[in-house]
Amino acid sequence: MSSRIEIDGSEGEGGGQILRTSLALSLITGQPFHLYNIRAGRPKPGLAAQHLTCVRAAAAIGSATVRGASLGSTYLTFD
C-alpha cells in the first residue's frame, strides 16, 4: 500500500472543498490520505453533516477504512 499523503485542511479557502477533492482523488488513484485542520478557519471548524455524507459515500464506493468520521472532527484518515 502507498504511504499516506498529509493534507492541511486549513490551506486555501479552508472549507469542505479540500475534503471533497481529497476523497475524489483518493478514490481515483487509490492513494490514502490524512487530512488535518479540517475547516480550521471557519466559524464552526471540523466536519459538518454534509461532509460526513460525502465521507461515508466515498468509503462505501472505495471500500475504505476511515478514522475521524464524526461531527466536528478536525481530522480524517482515509485508507
Question: How high is the mean pLDDT in each 10-residue block of the chain (79 residues)?
Answer: 87 83 96 95 91 96 97 96
Is 0.85 topped by the overall pTM? yes
User: How confident is the model at residue 1, as a pLDDT?
Assistant: 52
User: How confident is the model at residue 73, as a pLDDT?
Assistant: 96
Q: CA 75 to CA 31: how far, in whole Å?
A: 17
Residue 55's region, left for phi above 0, alpha for psi from -120 to 50, else beta, is: alpha
User: How confident is the model at residue 13, as a pLDDT?
Assistant: 76
